[in-house]
């Protein structure tokens, strides 16, 4: 337990209604009345953001989150299967819990899993990943205008906009934060 006055942005805390990460906090001492700490909290279970007010001497429980590298193995009816890079233990995560990261996971890739009390709560990807183009229409010869793009389908099923010179079988680098094409990998 730690006081609400001693927490920092980015830390995780456990409250009665769930697990939260501190997005921002502000200690305020009004001219009249008692001081308070106002926090903006992101719910790690549901993803919503709420604002809460605490007394500075009020205790909150800090949550210890273990972040470790896991290799993505495969996907099936049970969800996404990962292997711990240190212990070689395997775990399955439901597709709903993986969220948008599922668009960028390819077999053999390493992702950072955040685990709280033995339960995975999030999948963190590197800033960019390299994926193979599984389907792309050929670029039209007369359509070579600068910055012209076409939709291409990647091995994970994600469809992105890429330059006209990208063809089926090419390896491309994609930004996992925005979903944008970065470059073709040779």
CATH of 128-185, one of 1.20.120.10, 2.40.50.140, 3.30.420.40, 2.40.110.10: 2.40.50.140
Res 174: pLDDT: 95
Taking CA atoms, 166 is separated from 129, 171, 183, in Å, by 16, 9, 10
Please report the pLDDT score of residue 122 as a whole number. Answer: 81
Q: What are phi and psi of 99, to 5 degrees?
A: 70, -140
Instruction: Yes or no: say if 50 and 43 are a contact pair by the CB < 8 Å rule.
Output: yes
Report the C-alpha gap between 64 and 21 in whole angstroms.
Answer: 11
Q: Which residues contact 165 (CB under 8 A, 6 or more apart)?
A: 139, 184
pLDDT of residue 95: 84
Q: Is 19 exposed, middle or buried (0-12, 13-18, 19+ CB in 10 A)?
A: buried
pLDDT tens over the chain, length 186 residues:
888 888 888 888 888 888 888 888 898 888 888 899 999 998 887 778 889 999 888 888 988 888 899 999 999 988 999 999 999 999 998 888 888 888 999 999 999 998 888 888 888 889 999 999 999 888 766 655 656 888 999 999 999 999 888 899 999 999 998 999 999 997
The domain ranges of the chain are 2-62, 66-124, 128-185
pTM beyond 0.75, yes or no: no
- Specify the CATH class of 66-124 in words: mainly beta
pLDDT of residue 130: 93
E strand intervals along 55-169: 59-62, 66-76, 79-84, 90-93, 110-116, 119-124, 128-136, 149-154, 159-163
How high is the pLDDT of residue 7?
86
Query: CA-CA distance, 121 to 123, in Å (whole number)?
Result: 7
């Amino acid at each position: 337990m730690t006081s609400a006055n001693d927490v920092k942005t980015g830390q995780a805390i456990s409250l009665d209604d769930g697990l939260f990460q501190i997005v921002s906090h502000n200690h305020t001492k009004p001219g009249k009345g008692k001081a308070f700490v106002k926090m903006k909290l992101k719910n790690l279970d549901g993803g919503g953001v709420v604002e809460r007010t605490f007394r500075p001497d009020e205790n909150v429980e800090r949550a210890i989150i273990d972040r470790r590298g896991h290799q993505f193995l495969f996907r099936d009816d049970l969800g996404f299967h990962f292997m711990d890079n240190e212990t070689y233990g395997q775990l399955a995560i439901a597709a709903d819990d993986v969220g948008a990261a599922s668009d960028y996971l390819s077999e053999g890739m390493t992702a950072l899993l955040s685990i709280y009390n033995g339960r995975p709560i999030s999948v963190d990807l590197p800033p960019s990943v390299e994926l193979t183009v599984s389907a792309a229409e050929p670029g039209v010869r007369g359509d070579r205008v600068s910055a012209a793009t076409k939709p291409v389908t990647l091995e994970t099923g994600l469809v992105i906009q890429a330059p006209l010179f990208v063809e089926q079988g090419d390896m491309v680098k994609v930004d996992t934060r925005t979903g944008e094409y970065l470059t073709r990998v040779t």
